[in-house]
Amino acid sequence: MRFKNLPNALTLMRVLLIPVFIVALMTGRDLAAGLVFVIASLTDLLDGYIARKYDLVTNFGKLMDPLADKLLMMSALVCLVELGEIRAWMVVVMLGREFAVTGLRSVAAGEGHVLAAAFSGKLKTFVQALAILALVLRNRPFESIGLPVAAVLLWAALLLTVYSGAEFIVKNRKLLSWKQS
């Protein structure tokens, strides 16, 4: 498959890095998993920047970029549950938020509307990525000085997840009308 632009190739690379990340994480190669996670996360920043700057936005990118981001984050969180690093209910809350927001975006798209991400959603993603990285690295180097950075970041990500989800739903509540058009 040949891509017409670099942002789409970066998005595909992020998707292909997910199984590499999972294998590294689940086989105890924490540093390798952390490195792959950072590289995959950076492709998310880079592909969006390049697509906007050089007007390379495509339908593939509009669909796959957010999907690739969600797949990376959610697969990391599910693996961390399996490894006992995060409680399952926290991941259920985070997954629930993603499904609710994605569902609302789908409804809006069906009615010809595009719902942009709010700052709180972008901040949620950033803090979530930091929390995942800290958990993957088993709170290194902070555990040696007794700072629970991974736990603090995880709770911050959870609070931002709830806040940004609620904000998104309230802001777009007109799309949740039960009336038929």
Mean pLDDT value across residues 82-97: 96
Strands (E), the chain: none
pLDDT at 168 over 60: yes
Q: What was the pLDDT predicted at 120?
A: 95
Domains of the chain, residue spans: 6-176
Q: How far apart are CA 82 and CA 94, in angstroms?
A: 16
180 versus 146: the higher-pLDDT residue is 146
What class does CATH assign to 6-176?
A: mainly alpha
140 versus 24: the higher-pLDDT residue is 24
Rounded mean pLDDT of the chain? Answer: 89
* Structural tokens at position 150: 């991974």
Q: How far apart are CA 20 and CA 10, in angstroms?
A: 15
Contact present, 101 and 168 (Cβ < 8 Å): yes
Q: How far apart are CA 45 and CA 41, in angstroms?
A: 7
Q: How far apart are CA 131 and CA 134, in angstroms?
A: 5
pTM of the prediction? Answer: 0.88
Q: Minimum mean pLDDT among 46-50, 89-93, 122-126, 176-180: which range?
A: 176-180
pLDDT at 96 over 70: yes
Instruction: Find the radius of gyration of the CA atoms of the chain.
Output: 17
